[in-house]
Every structure is written in C-alpha cells, then in structure tokens.
Amino acid sequence: MRIGIGGPVGSGKTALVAALARALTPRLRLAVVTNDIYTTEDADFLRRAGVLAPDRIEAVQTGCCPHTAIRDDITANLEAVELLEERFGDLDLVLVESGGDNLTAVFSRGLVDRQIFVVDVAGGDKVPRKGGPGVTTADLLVINKEDLAPLVGADMAVMTADAHRVRQGRPVVVQSLVADPGATAVTGWVLAQVAAVPR
C-alpha cells in the first residue's frame, strides 16, 4: 500500500512521517519517499532521526511546484517507489511525503492508494473553513499541533466543527505530537488501511 502525506509548509508532515515510522516499523515493512523542490532536507531529517534504516528513505527533488510531482507528472515519485520495492521486496507500506504546498494539493491515485492531508493550528481556526481539495477530499484530515491553539488564539471547537462540516463524513484527527509522540489515532488509521488490503 502507498499512502501520501500532503499539506502546507510547516504543518508537520515530516514530523508525522517520523512518528508513523517509529510506531509502524515493529509491525510493518515500511519505506518512505520524500519530496523537496531543491534539497533533500526532509529525507536528511528522517535519516538523522534514525526512524528507519537510511536505505529505506528515498528523496525526490522535484525542481518544480510540489503538487506537480505528486499529481501531474508522478514519474520521479513512481521511480523512487519502484526502487524501494525492488530493493526490499514485499513492502507493506510506502509513505510518500509531498513537499509543502497549499490547500489544493492532492495526490494522483496512480501514485498512492490513500492520502492524508495535514494542516496545523498555527494557521488559525479558519483553515478548514477555507476548504480546498486537500482538506475536503483527502482520505484523512489531520489537524496538527493542537498544543499551539492557546498560543495563537485558535478555537479548536470551531476548527474541528468546520473540518467535519466541509469533509462531509470523512475522518478528521486532531493531534499534538508533543502530547502524543506516537500519533496514536493516525497510526491506528494507517494500520486499518493496510489491514484492509487483500493479501
């Protein structure tokens, strides 16, 4: 299975990937593809953090808008995924992290089977209300950095209600990786998605 993780710059995508890698590695055969425009910063961060063996992490330098490499021309990402699948054989899960983008970023279904979209509280409680395909159509919306709400004046009740309203029944997780470093709810959702894949 391939799960894409997208969202704006600074929303906590890489931190979520790190948390998922730590939580899932004992249970799943896992690899990660990261996307950055000009650098390998996110892949380097994950390698330094030691969340996976370094050769289980591939970096894609898109050289263009992040959404182009995950939606329009997915060739570089597909090649990175295929390289990991050839290297490790029967992987249970590949996480594909998009470079930071706006609320319209969505993954091609030719690249991923499911997608998670991450927004953060620091953007204000208006973010879910603004909608955008990333917020409204992702298989899971994660409202990240809940611990920052009092510091930025975000009303979590409003933010959560708006998220549920615009998503029309699709799941929403509110989390703080400070309070829950294992991203328990997202980890559970990912495990359920993987378990649902016929073997």
Going by the annotation, the residues of the binding site for GTP are 7-14
Greatest distance between any 2 Cα atoms in the chain:
48
Q: How far apart are CA 102 and CA 96, in angstroms?
A: 17
Residue 14 CA from chain centroid, whole number: 8
Which amino acids are annotated as binding site, given as ranges?
Answer: 7-14
- Please work out, in degrees rounded to the nearest 5, the angle formed at the alpha carbon of residue 60 by the alpha carbons of 66 and 188: 80
